[in-house]
Amino acid sequence: MAAGRPGTRAYRSNVTKTRTQIQTPRVAQGTRPQYFADPNMDQMHAMILALATEVSVLFDRFDAMERILNAKGVLTRTDLESWQPDTDAEDDRASKRDALIRRLFRSTHEARVKLEKE
């Protein structure tokens, strides 16, 4: 049975079934850690990391598309959804992901190094 598209009865039915199978808390317990003096900076930091996560997922998806197109010349949704990266693709993706993380945290790392020198 197809899960359906968001907003459809089939989708809501599937989501309801999933929710009854897996019980997770709806609200985080405890207080959120605060890393910066200004709580707004913590919120901005969380938003940037969430966006970076989405960018990383998109990079992986584009990588899969390119690899399938190079191999087959055509692309179907089924091909894309069922494609599994080989070791070379995994290594390439890990390298690109590490580079993205280094770029994201470069200023934080430089600030920490500067504080350690003082």
Average pLDDT per consecutive 10 residues, the chain (118 residues; last block may be shorter)? 55 53 68 82 90 94 96 94 94 94 89 84
pLDDT confidence of residue 51: 94
pLDDT confidence of residue 1: 43
Instruction: Residue 4: count other Cβ atoms within 10 Å of its Cβ.
Output: 14
pLDDT confidence of residue 71: 95
State the Cα angle at 29 between 23 and 31, rounded to 5°: 155
Residue with token string 């690109």? 96
pLDDT confidence of residue 10: 59
d(Cα 82, Cα 59) in Å, to the nearest integer?
17
Residue with token string 């584009």? 62
Q: Tokens at residue 96, please? A: 């690109």
Instruction: Residue 34: count other Cβ atoms within 10 Å of its Cβ.
Output: 10
pLDDT confidence of residue 69: 96
d(Cα 33, Cα 39) in Å, to the nearest integer?
10
pLDDT confidence of residue 80: 93
pLDDT confidence of residue 31: 80
